[in-house]
């Protein structure tokens, strides 16, 4: 089946927006983490005939948004606009790792990464304790007291 003009326009706009978000988020000089992935597709290309497409997709509304995965490691969302499907995901683990390991993840490396993330979160949120002065100054002729240590 041929792609409609409206779908082509939506796909070009969606690719431009996703590419801009990807360049700001993953390729800017301030942030070099590749944690955003996207995919823009024409839904009509998945089906062989118009009848099959109408039965599967035509009954859906023009705009639909669905969260596919939302857990501790990633968030994946699919958006349907007309006949265009935009699927993007954010990887939540990459921001805690300084270097992405080339070896397969094992339980020990996951535990080490969790420990690293906890230490970074703790040092970021840590506040210096205030110092309490136990020495009292003289007031109205009273003697000065010192605490015993």
**What are the residues whose beta carbons fall under 8 Å from the beta carbon of 86, sequence distance 6 or more?**
14, 18, 38, 39, 40, 78, 79, 80
- How much is the pLDDT for 65? 94
**CA-based nearest residue to 42, from 77, 11, 76:** 11
- How much is the pLDDT for 108? 72
- How much is the pLDDT for 15? 94
Note whether 93 and 113 are within 8 A (CB): yes
Q: Whole-angstrom Cα distance, residue 84 to residue 76?
A: 17
| pLDDT one digit per residue (tens) for the chain, 149 residues | 677 888 899 999 999 999 998 888 887 777 767 788 999 999 888 888 888 888 888 788 999 999 999 988 889 999 999 889 999 998 887 665 555 556 666 667 677 777 887 777 777 666 665 666 666 565 555 555 555 55
Give CA angle at 26 (92, 117), nearest 5°: 35
Q: Read off φ and ψ for residue 90, nearest 5 degrees.
A: -115, 125
- How much is the pLDDT for 56? 84
Residue for token pair 């000065």: 144
What is the gyration radius of the CA atoms in the chain, in angstroms?
A: 28
């Amino acid at each position: 089946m041929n792609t409609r003009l409206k779908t082509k326009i939506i796909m070009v706009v969606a690719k431009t927006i996703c590419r801009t978000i990807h360049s700001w988020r993953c390729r800017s000089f301030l942030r070099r983490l590749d944690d955003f992935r996207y995919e823009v597709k024409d839904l009509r290309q998945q089906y062989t005939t118009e009848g099959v497409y109408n039965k599967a997709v035509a009954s859906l509304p023009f705009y639909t948004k669905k969260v596919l995965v939302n857990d501790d490691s990633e968030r994946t969302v699919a958006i349907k606009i007309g006949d265009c499907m935009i699927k993007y995901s954010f990887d939540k683990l990459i921001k805690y790792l300084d270097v992405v390991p080339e070896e397969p993840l094992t339980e020990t490396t996951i535990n080490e990464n969790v420990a690293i993330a906890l230490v970074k979160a703790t040092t970021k949120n840590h506040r210096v304790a205030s110092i309490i002065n136990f020495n009292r100054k003289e007031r109205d002729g009273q003697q000065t007291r010192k605490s015993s240590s």
